[in-house]
Amino acid sequence: MGTAISIDLRDSAVDDGVIETTFDWLRQVDVDFSLYKPQSEISRLGRGELTVEECRVEVGEVLSLCEDLREQTHGVFNAWRCRADGRLDPSGVVKGWAVERAAGILERGGARNFCINAGGDVVCRGEPEPERAWRIGIRHPVEAGAVAGVVHAHDLALATSGAYERGDHIVDARTGIPARGLLSLTVAGPSLTLADAYATAGFAMGTAGIAWAATLAGYAPFAITDAGRVQYNDAFADLLVSATRASVPLRPQP
């Protein structure tokens, strides 16, 4: 999926085969959904060489999620219109969905305390050690080695969208214009599938995406505007480590 994926598993009794099964699943997702592999099912579907019915059932599941998101965002997210060349691109849903399914594989294998990190999109369960929460850093969008905030959680999904690595690749599908107004948008909630999708759609909306994400039941936004200011709601404040709670400019303001 074009990113590094790591699993921090704290349950010593879990069989190594469960971890291998989890990575096998993620490899299969890459085979099916990679936009960089001409023979992936999603590439062939986008070129009209396959129908949805001819694809693996997981492809239909992802496209159904994409359609739900298109309706929920009134067209801001549209897997068929989010690329300048008009090709099918469900990437705004795939990674979060795949990693959430990977977490399910671990749980069915007996894992209770673990954290999966897929290029900054994170799902955590339980705790790293007794009476201590997982600490998850939110990458600073300007300084790659720094964090803009740290959250603590026991059972949480966290996803971030931004243009700091791949440039203007997120567009408002209604206009085809790249997102403006935000450097990054992080969304926290119970499902990484939805947190990832909401972060992508909200980022495409620009600054309006902050308020939109705050209306989503069970989910909370943490945004960094292109003016370098941090904005988040009370629900996200409850997740932040106290040292990072102040809304402080990331760079000097005029």
Q: What is the pLDDT of residues 37-52, one digit of tens each?
A: 999 999 999 999 999 9
Buried b (16+ CB within 10 A) or exposed e, 122-160: bbbbbbeeeeebbebbbbbbeeeeeebbebbbeebbbbb
Pair 63, 52: CB distance under 8 Å: yes
Section 122-145 average pLDDT: 92
- Which residue(s) pair with 124 in the sheet? 115, 156
Give the whole-angstrom CA distance, residue 250 versus residue 140: 9
Are 96 and 157 contacting, i.e. CB atoms less than 8 angstroms apart? yes
Residue with tokens 């999620």: 65
> Can you list the domains of the chain with their CATH numbers?
5-244 (3.10.520.10)
What pLDDT does residue 186 have? Answer: 96
pLDDT tens digits for 185-209? 999 999 999 999 999 899 989 999 9
